[in-house]
Structure 1
Amino acid sequence: MWSDLSNQPAFVAVTSVVAGLSVIWVFRKIAKKHKRSKLRKQWSNAGKDVVVLHQFVRGKYCINLSPYAVKVETFLRLANIKYIVDSEIPFGPKGKCPWITLNGEELGDSEMIIQKLIDHFKVDLDNHLDTRRKAQLETVRITADEFVFWFVVTWRYWLDGCKSFLKSQSFSSFLNFVFPLFMKKGIKVKARYQGIGHHTPDEIYGIAKSTCRALADVLGDDPYFGGEQLSTADCSVFGQLSQLMWNAPDSHYEALVTEMYPSLGAYCNRMKEKIFPDWYKLLNPPME
């Protein structure tokens, strides 16, 4: 005969716990939905054609831990587009950071965001370039967004276990503890899918060196990758190199741009001074 489990104390206790957790989950979902609805009203009140840039909170030395957030914010400033920053909800409709709200429309993915801004605001940062040079800089952009990004995050979150990276952020003690636990496993899986995760640490560092050398060779003696004038590609390159320059303190990856290829470090400082004269005030905490 089947026993009546509903009369067993253990069964009742487990059922109570499950029911309690379900109630908590439902209330959290409702609270999150209410918060997002309230924030949406604030974003809508930002004004016509004012971009709301949703991204992570600022860091100690770099304006963002996401190279793509730095990329988009750099473009907004170069294009002289009015924007405000929101750090309450950093992940957008595609589960990516950053994302934007523009006149009520939500859009994710940094490249799609920039293309939307180009079309909407009729911006052309590359009108000083010929067709061949534009194609060359698109290759540079892809190199930065795809190659530099992957060796940085693979080293930062997996190989180094966030040790260097956490020095550059103003996280709480709790987040300092749990962040590496979640990120290490997740990035390890993604890096293996991407392909770079199948290499040894030395081989990945070799990829980093050759990529930085190529970028330094392309830059040459020019102040920017667009030459004497800034280009759209500079937004991507600066976004990615900013992670080596300011979010990898006291590491051999930081040394790639400060010692091995110092022209890249000088480029980062040049970009910071030209586009973000308020850089130190934006940091968390702000610096004088």
Structure 2
Amino acid sequence: MAEVKENWKPEWKRDVVYLHVFPRTMAKCVPNISPFAMKLEMWLRMNNVPYQCSLLTCLNRFIIEYLSKYFKKNPYPGINPEQQAIGRSFLKMAEENTVWSIFWYRYVEHMTEYRKYLTFQVPEEMQEKVGAGLSSSVKDRAWKHGIGRHSSKEIYKLGSDDIRAISSFLGEKKYFLGDTPSLVDCTLFGVLSQAIFVPLDFPMKAVIKEECSNILDYIDRLKTEFWSHWDDQQI
């Protein structure tokens, strides 16, 4: 709470979202190391909700539900209930399953390599220790989740099969559910960008490149349309 108070903006304005996310400087190749923070920021951009970043490590997984009601934004505008149900199913798959295959690869099995693209907000002499602690924490969380009880090969197969399912349903559509962008697009962008844009040899990335090129086109479209200042980490 003390950290939140120190970073709170005394000149806050009504109807502006002050977005608490991991500092931009922690990540390379993507604006944020968290796919959930990426999802939220994409949703704000997609819905033209004014926001400012307040850089601290404070997360809330239910914020979009609250903001949708406050700003009167439909997470699935003009999309029928059946398609909304499909969108929610893929959203949950990506957040509860697919993302763990990415986390397992970069934090548990390849943390040393991933450290080239990750900088912690601690002195240099503590970077390795903090990285080791994060690796151990993610491994423990994956075990408690259940996915960490599988072999690495099985974990990557689960993630790769998810990628194939995403690609099959996406087909040639502009957005995941058709001609209108929705919350599921924000989620898929947040998760898949972590593998596509970070130059590590994720097994799931190989599947995207070799079997599911429509996903590359899809993510590039979303990036171009909603994240024009991608390379400017201050935006």
Contact 1:152–1:244 (8 Å) recurs in 2: yes
Q: Please list the CA deviations of residues 84-142 of structure 1 after superposition, one character each: whole Å capped at 9, or x if unmatched.
A: 0011x212xxxxx3xxxxxxxxxx22xx1111111000012422211111111110111
Between the aligned partners of 2:135 and 2:6, the Cα distance in structure 1 is: 34
Identity of aligned residues (%): 27
- Aligned CA-pair RMSD: 2.0
Matched, 1:48 2:36: no
User: What residue identity is the alignment partner of 1:186?
Assistant: S
Give ranges in structure 1 of 5+ residues lacking alignment: 1-31, 92-96, 98-107
Aligned residues: 231
Between the aligned partners of 1:39 and 1:57, the Cα distance in structure 2 is: 12
Q: What does residue 57 of structure 2 align with?
A: 90
Matched, 1:76 2:27: no
Q: Please list the CA deviations of residues 185-236 of structure 1 after superposition, one character each: whole Å capped at 9, or x if unmatched.
A: 1111111111111111111111111110001111111121121221111111
Matched, 1:124 2:74: yes
Task: Go from structure 1 to structure 2 and tell me whether the alpha carbon gap of 1:262 and 1:168 turns closer, same or farther (over 3 Å shift).
Answer: farther
The alpha-carbon deviation at position 170 of structure 1 amounts to 4.5
Q: What does residue 186 of structure 1 align with?
A: 137
For residues 155-170 of structure 1, the aligned pairs below 5 Å read 155-160=105-110, 162-170=111-119
The match for 2:100 among 123, 136, 150 is 150
- Structure ID, larger Rg: 1
The alpha-carbon deviation at position 276 of structure 1 amounts to 0.3
Contact 1:164–1:251 (8 Å) recurs in 2: no
User: What residue identity is the alignment partner of 1:221?
Assistant: E
For residues 1-288 of structure 1, the aligned pairs below 5 Å read 33=2, 36-40=4-8, 42=9, 44-58=10-24, 59-87=27-55, 89-91=56-58, 97=59, 108-109=60-61, 112-160=62-110, 162-171=111-120, 173-174=124-125, 176-282=127-233
**TM-score, normalised with respect to structure 2:** 0.90
Contact 1:167–1:249 (8 Å) recurs in 2: no
Between the aligned partners of 2:167 and 2:95, the Cα distance in structure 1 is: 16
Between the aligned partners of 2:215 and 2:125, the Cα distance in structure 1 is: 35
Q: Find the residue that maps to 1:280 and give its secondary structure.
A: coil
Between the aligned partners of 1:257 and 1:57, the Cα distance in structure 2 is: 29
Give ranges in structure 2 of 5+ residues lacking alignment: none
Task: Go from structure 1 to structure 2 and tell me whether the alpha carbon gap of 1:250 and 1:281 turns closer, same or farther (over 3 Å shift).
Answer: same
Contact 1:165–1:248 (8 Å) recurs in 2: no
Between the aligned partners of 1:134 and 1:258, the Cα distance in structure 2 is: 28
Answer 1 or 2: higher relative contact order, Cα 8 Å, separation at least 6: 2
The alpha-carbon deviation at position 245 of structure 1 amounts to 0.9
User: What residue identity is the alignment partner of 1:168?
Assistant: Y
